Amino acid sequence: MRLVEESGIASVYAFSGEETANGETATPVSLTAAHRSLPFGTLVRVTNNLTGDWVVVRINDRGPFVDGRIIDLTPAGAQAIGSDGLTPVSLQILGWSG
C-alpha cells in the first residue's frame, strides 16, 4: 500500500561509529537512512529511478542538509540500488517498525 511518495536525489553518507539522531550507533552495513522529517522507525522503499533497483531502509537519523537531496543512505543501502554517489530516487513509505 503506497502511503506517500517523494522524488529527488539520494546521497551516500559514511559512518565511523557515530551516534545517529535516534541514539543508535551508525554502521555502514545497516539498511538505515537519514530523512529530514519522517519519524524514526519509518520503513521506506527507495527506488533508483535510473535502474529500477530498490531497497527498504529504516529511518534512524536526520538529514540530508544539502538543498535538493531528500535522503541520505548508508553505503549498504546505496550499494543495494546500484549507487555510490548522487542518484535520482523515489521514496515510498511502507509503514513503521517498532
Domain boundary assignment for the chain: 5-96
pTM exceeding 0.85: yes
- pLDDT value, residue 12: 94
pLDDT along the chain (98 residues), means of 10: 78 84 91 96 97 97 94 96 95 88
- pLDDT value, residue 63: 94
Helix, strand, coil percentages (3-state) for the chain, rounded to 5, are: 5, 45, 50
Q: What class does CATH assign to 5-96?
A: mainly beta
- pLDDT value, residue 76: 95
Grid cell at residue 58: 529504516
User: Do 11 and 85 form a contact (C-beta atoms < 8 A)?
Assistant: yes
- pLDDT value, residue 1: 45
